[in-house]
């Protein structure tokens, strides 16, 4: 199994669920994480990543960390200072149309979105609300482009797009697609030489349907135009994703793998979860499993079954612990005061 991993956590793209998978693997295998130096959950995002953002990094005695997965704005030469040269790099993408719809709700408090009553209103005259100079403007345009380290306001020329795609291809071993999450997990499992249980997950940091809105074709086209760089990244890597499946696994075997994954996930849901699924924030009984509520989104969580034996309870709890709580537990574990 591969233990040196860089995951670029792209916003609003099922990346919290992927992070849980990495947290669990690192937790059970006692791996070291590259935590933000000042605590918290972001590596000085939205600044470009620097090795000095990592707690315990020192240029004099460069310690290599196993897993780098907290929010950062990608900058490979700096990333290479904190992980081994054999580390596997991967990230996850999402259709920019759904990404923008999600961001508008989740980042409602940002300067670009706060004054627009609806996404339609924002898109009808984006520059009325959007100022590239605002420190939080990246949430409102080409967010994936930004997270990968590029300029989200750059002009869209064929040449620039090609350079950007080539740069991403040169840096990353695999780009997952959140719309095909199960297929993505199969590819990830293969690439990391992990077991099925290592890539099983329950969706984390997801919204209640009541805060989701359906979009007209006109709005979808406007979103694509406004996020043209993201659209180019997404369509390119969605295509190479399926090419990779055809080349490395084949559709038939992929179907069987996905089936096995879903079957195992259902088994774990029966074992672990009350009602086998997610619940509204107000219905979460264990406050330590309450996810962060952000913007206008209602973020769902889980209740664990009662009466589980200790080992099963621990496994189930890891599966449903929200990102912030899990991150701080791992931080405490890694930096526990070592008493003589």
Range name among 21-30, 78-87, 90-99, 296-305 with the lowest pLDDT average: 296-305
279 within 8 A of 303, measured Cβ to Cβ: yes
H helical segments located in 216-322: 217-226, 228-248, 251-272, 310-320
Cross-strand partners of 33: 67
Q: DSSP letters of 79-116?
A: HTTTB-TT-EEEEEE--HHHHHHHHHHHTTTSHHHHT-
pLDDT of residue 209: 73
For the chain, give the percent of residues with pLDDT over 90.
88
Quickly state the pLDDT bin for 206 (edges 50, 70, 90). confident
Give 307-330 pLDDT, tens digit per residue: 999 999 999 999 999 999 999 999
Could you tell me if residue 115 is left (phi over 0), alpha (psi between -120 and 50 degrees) or otherwise beta? alpha
The answer for residues whose C-beta is within 8 angstroms of residue 14's C-beta and 6 or more apart is: 92, 94, 178, 181, 203
Give 53-64 pLDDT, tens digit per residue: 999 999 998 789
Give 177-196 pLDDT, tens digit per residue: 999 999 999 999 999 999 99
How far apart CA 89 and CA 154 sit, in angstroms, is: 25
CB atoms closer than 10 angstroms to residue 6: 25
Could you tell me if residue 205 is left (phi over 0), alpha (psi between -120 and 50 degrees) or otherwise beta? left
Quickly state the pLDDT bin for 340 (edges 50, 70, 90). very low
Give 74-109 pLDDT, tens digit per residue: 999 999 999 999 999 999 999 999 999 999 999 999
Taking residues 259-268, what's their average pLDDT?
97
How far apart CA 268 and CA 203 sit, in angstroms, is: 13
pLDDT of residue 217: 97
Q: Which two tokens stand for residue 281?
A: 């924030």
| Domain residue spans of the chain | 5-93+159-214+227-332
């Amino acid at each position: 199994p591969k233990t040196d991993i860089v995951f670029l956590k792209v916003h609003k793209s099922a990346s919290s669920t992927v992070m849980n998978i990495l947290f669990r693997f690192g937790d059970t295998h006692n791996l070291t994480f590259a935590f933000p130096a000042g605590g918290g959950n972001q590596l000085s995002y939205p600044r470009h990543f620097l090795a000095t953002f990592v707690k315990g990094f020192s240029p004099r005695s460069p310690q290599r960390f196993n897993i780098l997965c907290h929010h950062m704005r990608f900058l490979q030469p700096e990333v290479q200072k904190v992980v081994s040269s054999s580390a596997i790099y991967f990230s996850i993408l999402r259709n920019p149309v759904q990404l923008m719809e999600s961001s508008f709700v989740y980042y409602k408090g940002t300067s670009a979105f706060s004054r627009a009553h609806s996404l339609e209103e924002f898109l009808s005259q984006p520059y009325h609300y959007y100022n590239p100079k605002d420190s939080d403007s990246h949430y409102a345009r080409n967010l994936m482009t930004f997270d990968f380290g590029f300029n989200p306001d750059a002009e869209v020329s064929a040449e620039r797009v090609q350079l950007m795609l080539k740069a991403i291809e040169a840096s990353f071993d695999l780009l997952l697609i959140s719309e095909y999450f199960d297929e993505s997990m199969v590819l990830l499992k293969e690439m990391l030489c992990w077991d099925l249980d290592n890539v099983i997950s329950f969706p984390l940091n997801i919204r209640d349907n009541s805060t989701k809105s359906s979009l007209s074709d006109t709005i979808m086209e406007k979103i694509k135009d406004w996020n043209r760089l993201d659209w180019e990244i997404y369509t390119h890597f969605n295509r190479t994703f399926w090419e990779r499946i055809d080349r490395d696994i084949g559709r038939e075997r992929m179907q069987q793998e996905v089936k096995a994954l879903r079957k195992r996930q259902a088994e774990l849901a029966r074992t672990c979860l009350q009602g086998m699924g997610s619940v509204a924030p107000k219905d979460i009984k264990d406050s330590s499993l309450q996810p962060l509520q952000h913007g206008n989104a209602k973020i769902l969580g889980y209740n664990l079954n009662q009466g589980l034996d200790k080992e099963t309870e621990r496994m189930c709890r890891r599966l449903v612990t929200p990102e912030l709580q899990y991150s701080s537990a791992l931080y405490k574990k890694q930096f526990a005061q070592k008493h003589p």
